[in-house]
Chain A
Amino acid sequence: MLEIKNLCVQLEEEDKQILKGVNLSLEAGKVHAIMGPNGSGKSTLSYVLSGKGGYEVTEGSAHLEGNDILEMEPEERAAAGLFLAFQYPVEIPGVGNMTFLRTAVNSQRKLRGEPEMSAGEFLKVVRAKAKDLKIDADMLKRPVNVGFSGGEKKRNEILQMAMLEPKMCILDETDSGLDVDAMKLVAQGVNALRDGKRTFLVITHYQRLLDHIKPDVVHIMAAGRIIKSGGPELALEVENNGYADLLEETA
C-alpha cells in the first residue's frame, strides 16, 4: 500500500535535517505502529507524506499503491486515499463542521471523477457515523474544531476519516488527550474501518491504544530513522523500559 524508501527531509527555511533515511513498507490491510521519543520526527513524517509545505525532500521516495505521492498536491494525495488524523487539529472559525465535511467529501469525489454525494445522503451518513463516535448534533453544527475540547477534536478527526473512507490512514497521537472511554470509542471507530484492505499507520506514545487497536508491526523511530521494527511485543518493551536500551543498542 505505502512504500517509503530512504526518505530524507530537511526544513526549507533552515539547513536542519529531520528525517534521515526512513524506510517503511506497509502492506495492504495491516496496522503498523510507530513509537519514538519526542522530537524524533514522527509528525514530520506524517506531514511530509500528506504534503505540508515547509519541508524539502532531499532523497528517497514514497509511493501509494505504486504512485509517487511526493509529486502530488496535498488534495491529490487525499483523493488518492491518504488521510492524516492530525496531532493538533486546526480550528477554522465560522466554517460549520458539517459544511467542512461535505466540502471535503465532494471535493475528493470530484477529483476522482465521481458524482457528488447528495445533501440528503450525506446527512444520513454523517448522522450515523457521528452517533457511533458519540458526536452530537451541536458539534456538527459548530465551527470546525473551534472551542472543541482536546478529546472532541480527536474524535472529530476520526469522524472525518470515517466519512472520507481513505485507503491509507495515518493517525498522529490520536490517543493523547483522550479519556478512557473516548479512547475506546476512537479505537472502535478505527477497528470498524479495518476491512482487510485499509491500511493504518498509528503514531503513539502509549501501549494503551495498541491494546485496542492491535498492530501487526511496531516500529521505533529515533532521530529521524526507524531504528527497530518488531511485533506487538516491541511496544510492551518500550512501555516497560523506555527508549534508553533501544537507543543504546543501535548507537
Chain B
Amino acid sequence: MVMDDVQVKDGVDAQTVDAVKALSGAYKYGWNTEIEMEYAPKGLSEDIVRLISSKNEEPEWMLDWRLAAYRRWLEMKEPDWAMVDYPKIDFQDQYYYARPKSMEEKPKSLDDVDPKLLETYKKLGIPLKEQALLAGVEAPEGERRVAVDAVFDSVSVGTTFQAELMNAGVIFCSISEAIREHPELVRKYLGTVVPVSDNYYATLNCAVFSDGSFVYIPPGVRCPMELSTYFRINAENTGQFERTLIIADKESYVSYLEGCTAPQRDIAQLHAAVVELVLLDDAEIKYSTVQNWYPGDENGKGGIYNFVTKRADCRGDRSKVMWTQVETGSAVTWKYPSCVLRGDDSQGEFYSIAIANNMQQADTGTKMVHLGKNTKSRIVSKGISAGKAQNTYRGLVSMHPKAKNSRNYTQCDSLLIGDKCGAHTVPYIEVKNNSSRVEHEATTSKVDDDQLFYCRSRGMGEEDAVALVVNGFCKEVLQALPMEFAMEAQALVAISLEGSVG
C-alpha cells in the first residue's frame, strides 16, 4: 500500500526532469498572436471608464460604481512600502481596453469563437474544448475534467462546460456576463471583500476592470469539476485589469485554478487584478494559482508588473479557504492573498512558492486576520532567489480581541542560489487576546554544493540536480496543488531557475 503511494509521487518528480529537458529554452510562452485588435484610446480618463462600461453593456449602477472608484483613485498615492523598485508607471501611456475585433459580436458558443483565438489557447496547452484538459494534457473521456474561462487581453473569449455546470446549479461565466445576467449576486457581493478604496491598484481595478471570472456555487453543492481561468495578455502597451468574484454558499465546495502568461516584450506591462472570495457557513474554496507572466529578460528589460489584491472573506462559521500559489513569472510581483477569518471556527491556509531569478523582484506574502473564535490559519512560504533577484516575504497575522482560542502557524523558508540575490522576511504579528497562539518559524539556506555534487555523482546533470533540490525544498507547497497543476508547477520551478547555476 505504502509503496503504491510512492509510485504516484515518484511519477510526478520523474516528469519534472523530463519536462525540463523537453522545455529547455527560456520563457516558453513568449510568442504572440497576430490578430486584429480594437483598442480604446490610449490613456485614462472618465471617458475611458465610461467606454469600458459601455463596451461591456453594463447597467447604470455598475458605471456609477466605476466612476466613484475612478474619482477616488485620482486622490490616492501609489504605495511605496514594498521592497520593489521599478520606474514610475505612466498611467496615461497605455491602453486600458483591447479586444480582438472578432469579439465585437459576442460568440454564441465556443464553435463561433475566432479560430485564431482557439489556436492561441491550444498552443498554450489549454484547448477550449469540452473534454478533460489542463496543462497540455487531454485526458481520455471519463477522467477529471476542468472547465475553463479564457480571458484574452480585456475580454473573456469563452467558457467551457457552462451548461453542464448549470445543471448542478453552478454559475461559471465571465464577470461581464455575470453583471448583465446575475446582477443581484454581483451587486450583493462585489466590493464587499476588497472595498473600492482598499488600495491604489485595487481602486484602479474597480474603475477599469474589463473582464474576469465569476463563480457561484449554491448551498450544499460540491462543484462537479475543477474550474479555471486562463489569463493571456497579448496586446502591446496594454494593461490587463481583471476581476474575479467567487461565492461559495453554505456547505458548498469548489476548487479553482488560475493560470497566466504573456508574450515576451521589451516594454513592461501592467497587470492589476482583484480577486474576491466569499465563503458562507461550512463552505470551502481551494484557490490555486500558477503565475507565469513574462518575467523580463536577464537584464530586467520588459516583463509584467503584477499588482494583485486577492482576499477571501470567511464570513460563515466553519468555512475554510486555501490559497496556493506558485509565482514564477513577472518582473515585479506585489501580491498578498489574504484571509479574513470572520466566522467562528473558520480556517485559512496559504501555501506559496515564489521564485525570483535574474532581475525579478517579488514582494509577496499573506494576511491572516482572525476575527472569529477558534479560528485557525497556517502559512507555508517558500521563497527562492537566484541571479540578482530580490525576494521578500511579507506577512501579517492579526488576532483580534474576540478571536479567542485562535491559532496561527507560520513557516517561512528562503533558499538562495548564488550570492548576488537576496531574501527578506518581514513578519508582522499582532495578538490582542491572551488565549490565542502564534508560532513563527523562518529559515534561510543556500543551495548546497554538497547536495548538488551528491546528485551529480549519481548521474544527474547540474540543472536537473538544482531542479530536484529546489523541488524538494518546495515539496509541502507542491503537494497542496491539484495533481495536474503540481506537475506543471514542478516543471516551471525548474525552468524558471535555468541558467541560475554554473
Contacts and interface: CB of A to CB of B under 8 A. Distances in A.
Contacts of A96: 6, 9-10, 13
B446 to A, nearest CB: 13
B3 A108 contact: no
Interface residues of A, number: 42
A141 B9 CA distance: 10
Interface stretch (A36-44, A70-78, A207-215): A70-78
B472 A93 contact: yes
Contact of B473 (A79, A94, A103): A94
Contact of B2 (A90, A95, A137): A137
Contacts of B6: 96, 98, 123, 137, 140-141
A103 B460 contact: yes
Interface string B1-44: 01101110111011001000000000000000000000000000
A25 interface: no
B460 A75 contact: yes
Interface residues of B, number: 34
A75 B14 contact: no
Interface in A52-104: 52-53, 73-75, 77-79, 83-84, 86, 89-96, 98-100, 102-104
Contacts of A83: 457
Nearest to B473: A94
A138 interface: yes
B455 interface: yes
Contacts of A164: 458-459
Contacts of A199: none
B184 interface: no
B390 to A, nearest CB: 24
A189 interface: no
A119 interface: yes
Contact of A51 (B2, B17, B457): B457
A95 B451 CA distance: 11
A247 interface: no
A125 interface: no
Residue of A75, A96, A138 most packed against chain B (CB within 10 A): A75
B10 A102 contact: yes
Given A95-B472, A102-B14, A137 B3 contact: yes
Q: Is the interface of A mostly helix, strand, loop or mixed?
A: helix
A107 interface: yes
Given A92-B451, A107-B464, A137-B2, A78 B456 contact: yes
B2 A104 contact: no
A107 B3 contact: no
Nearest to B14: A102
A23 interface: no
* Residue from A90, A105, A137 having most chain B Cβ neighbours under 10 A: A90
Nearest to B469: A92
Given A95-B472, A141-B2, A141-B6, A103 B454 contact: no
A84 B462 CA distance: 18
A107 B472 contact: no
B453 interface: yes
Interface in B101-129: none
A107 to B, nearest CB: 4
Contact of A75 (B9, B17, B459, B469): B459
B464 A103 contact: yes
Q: Which 5 A-B pairs have the closest CB atoms?
A: A94-B472, A94-B475, A108-B459, A95-B472, A104-B458
Given A51-B457, A141-B2, 8 more contacts: A50-B457, A53-B449, A53-B453, A73-B462, A75-B456, A75-B462, A90-B451, A107-B460
Interface of A: 50-53, 73-75, 77-79, 83-84, 86, 89-96, 98-100, 102-108, 111, 119, 123, 127, 137-138, 140-141, 143, 160, 164
